Amino acid sequence: MAQENKSKSQMPTEVLQALANAGESKFIKFADGQTMKLHFYPELTTTMETTFNGKRDKPTMRFKFMVTDHDKAGDIPLEYQNAKEWDTGSEVAKELREYFEKNQYDLQITRRGVDIGTKYRIVPM
């Protein structure tokens, strides 16, 4: 009887995933001064070229990282969350690579500044 109650109280995996991602954007965006605790999936990293302020003659390489947010997890494990995109420039990408080479995928990141003055402080969790 106790086991029957336990199985009824556990939600199916697909329901947990839907709850974890309901109403969520597929992108990670930092405000100035904001800190997030992110889990990175380096094997899903891609690159893209983009332009800023309509400067089509000067495309910039961006690095798109796939992450899950520890702070948004609540009672839902990271593996049930959909990964979100966070794109950065090459300086941040190089710093992240150093952590990945040490098998550190859970990082606390703080944004300071706006626009071209933006800097990120990255520390392992």
Contact 64, 27 (CB under 8 A): no
Q: What is the pLDDT of residues 42-57, one digit of tens each?
A: 999 999 887 766 666 6
Of 45, 106, 120, the residue nearest 78 (C-alpha): 106
Q: Report pLDDT digits (tens) over 89-99.
A: 999 999 999 99
CA within 13 Å, CB half, 2:
0
* HSE-CB for 45 with a 13 A CA cutoff: 18
In the prediction, which pLDDT does 2 show?
43
- Show pLDDT as tens, one digit a residue, over the chain (125 residues): 444 444 556 777 777 766 666 666 788 888 999 999 999 999 999 998 877 666 666 778 899 999 988 876 566 666 667 788 999 999 999 999 999 999 999 999 999 988 878 899 999 99
